[in-house]
Amino acid sequence: MNAGNLKALVFDAYGTIYDVASVFQRCEHHFPGHGKAISELWRVKQLEYTWLRTLMGRYENFERLTEDGLRHTCRALSLELSDAVLRDLMSEYFKLATYSEVPAALERLAAKMPLAILSNGSPAMLQKVTEHNGLTDRFQAILSVDGLKIFKPSPRVYESAVNRLGIAKEAIGFVSSNYWDAVGAKAYGFYVLWINRFKRVQDELGVAPDQEVFTMNQIADWVEAGT
Amino acid sequence: MNAGNLKALVFDAYGTIYDVASVFQRCEHHFPGHGKAISELWRVKQLEYTWLRTLMGRYENFERLTEDGLRHTCRALSLELSDAVLRDLMSEYFKLATYSEVPAALERLAAKMPLAILSNGSPAMLQKVTEHNGLTDRFQAILSVDGLKIFKPSPRVYESAVNRLGIAKEAIGFVSSNYWDAVGAKAYGFYVLWINRFKRVQDELGVAPDQEVFTMNQIADWVEAGT
């Protein structure tokens, strides 16, 4: 596909634009020697809770589920979690850095077509972290699942971007580093670019992204070459 | 709650009645030194794929997703998986043993009220493993999600047992060792007994099972005391 056929790019937030590594470093600060174990289980539970609660029809927002995941993780690892530490770790989510190449790549892409964010994050989380990074003006829309009360990879989440942007799904390029999110977007009908930042092996989900890249610069190169 | 208020017991299959440990031993047989890593990631992916495919509206049956999970696991661990080994590992699912206390506990329970299985497993998997263990006559119904084309913990799965058994949800006791399944059943409205066989820490999902027990014998004791 030629990038000239696309009319907008929609980005996932956590792991795609924003680097959650600082949260993990902060875990190590509070729980020396346990940072890796905490951060790995925390991420597993954060996602698992979004899927399970969507399936059960028991939505709570991403901030709440991120807290729930941390509480479970600390209990599972027999680590005491004070309210002060929980607040401190959660506050990291509001001031995550981007991956290093992202600001310049987004600047190049924004010169070519409208950009938007579509994320599981709560509106407050997304607005604050985007503002913290001075990126608010890069995006035509910052879309949260919160109005729908369901999480990715429900097709209704991806559809909400089509409705909001007023652009056909075939003309939307969706960018995510989370493979399952890339697959969900592809199953819905977007043209999907998977940023495989961590050289992960693809899951077997019956559908695959259209392109695999390793940094956002490759997307900017592809878009500039085709538009 | 007094067990006398219940009119039927519905059981999860894998991990609750049937012990998947033999699959894991078989992994170690084929991939010495990797059995634990394979079996852990395989189980994670098997479940993850049921949730993701339900959310995406891309159902395939549990046998297929179990195979998909194994294929991904071996690729992720850089282990070559031949068709013969895949077939051998999958065949274990059709001849799993029960946990040791299960046959006698089911015999006691079946003397008190109708029993059924409600599982993610495909009908063929469930029928064969139940027959292999000589337990077919213990159950009034062996219910698979396959007719619905969605997986647990969707409330529609639990509802299908109500429709099939013709018993109100409040009068059904649901038994699972999988915490997320116990929570899904409770969120739907069953009276739920969680067999915490592996002394796991509860997840934070906003709903909790009614009772925590550690073996199926405790359920038989409780039912006999109340009926």
CB within 8 Å: A48 and B154: no
**Contact residues for A54 (Cβ-Cβ < 8 A; gap 6+):** A150, A151, A154, B55
CB within 8 Å: B205 and A52: yes
Query: In this predicted model, what pLDDT tens digit does every residue of A109-135 receive, in sequence order?
Result: 999 999 999 999 999 999 999 999 999
Of A174, A202, A200, nearest to A187 (Cα)? A174
**Domain check: are B26 and B11 in the same one?**
no
In the prediction, which pLDDT does A227 show? 83
Rounded distance, CA B153 to CA B188, Å?
9
Query: A8 in helix, strand or coil?
Result: strand
**Domain check: are B129 and B222 in the same one?**
yes
**Domain check: are A90 and A101 in the same one?**
no
**Domain check: are B65 and B29 in the same one?**
yes
Chain A residues with CB-CB distance to B62 below 8 A: none
B52/chain A closest Cα distance in angstroms = 7
Check residue A200 and report its DSSP letter. P
Give the mutation candidate from B52, B63, B151, B180 for the A interface (greatest A CB count, under 10 A): B52
Query: In this predicted model, what pLDDT tens digit does every residue of B41-93 receive, in sequence order?
Result: 999 999 999 999 999 999 999 999 999 999 999 999 999 999 999 999 999 99
Q: Where are the alpha helices (DSSP H) in chain B?
A: 21-30, 35-56, 62-76, 83-92, 102-110, 123-132, 155-165, 179-188, 216-226
Two tokens, residue A94: 């509001």
Q: How many domains does chain B have?
A: 2
**Contact residues for A186 (Cβ-Cβ < 8 A; gap 6+):** A174, A192, A207, A208, A209, A210
Query: B213 in helix, strand or coil?
Result: strand
Check if B203 contacts A (Cβ < 8 Å): yes
Query: In this predicted model, what pLDDT tens digit does every residue of B129-175 receive, in sequence order?
Result: 999 999 999 999 999 999 999 999 999 999 999 999 999 999 999 99
Rounded distance, CA B123 to CA B141, Å?
11
User: What ipTM did this prediction achieve?
Assistant: 0.96
**Domain check: are A108 and A163 in the same one?**
yes
For residues A200-205, give the mean pLDDT: 97
Of A44, A75, A204, the CB nearest to B68: A204
Check if B53 contacts A (Cβ < 8 Å): yes
**Domain check: are A150 and A163 in the same one?**
yes
**Domain check: are A8 and A81 in the same one?**
no
Q: Which of A39, A59, A94 is the last residue of a domain?
A: A94
A14 pLDDT higher than 90? yes
Task: Give the residue carrying structure tokens 């206390």.
Answer: B101
Give the mutation candidate from A198, A205, A207 for the B interface (greatest B CB count, under 10 A): A205
Q: Which of A94, A125, A156 is the last residue of a domain?
A: A94
A41 pLDDT higher than 90? yes
Q: Looking at residue A87, which CATH number applies to its domain?
A: 1.10.150.240
**Domain check: are B40 and B121 in the same one?**
no
CB within 8 Å: A72 and B204: yes
CB within 8 Å: B60 and A187: no
Query: A98 in helix, strand or coil?
Result: strand
Rounded distance, CA A99 to CA A115, Å?
17
Of A52, A71, A206, the CB nearest to B153: A52
pLDDT band, residue A91 (cuts 50/70/90): very high
Residue B70, Cβ density class (10 Å: 0-12 exposed, 13-18 middle, ≥19 buried): buried
Distance of CA A97 to the CA centre of its chain: 13
**Domain check: are B108 and B137 in the same one?**
yes
In the prediction, which pLDDT does B187 show? 98
H or E stretch at A48: helix A35-56
Of A20, A28, A47, A68, nearest to A153 (Cα)? A47
Task: Give the residue carrying structure tokens 């940094």.
Answer: A215
Domain of residue A206, residue span: 3-19+96-226
**Domain check: are B45 and B26 in the same one?**
yes
CB B93 within 8 A of CB B129: yes
Of B52, B60, B203, the CB nearest to A51: B52
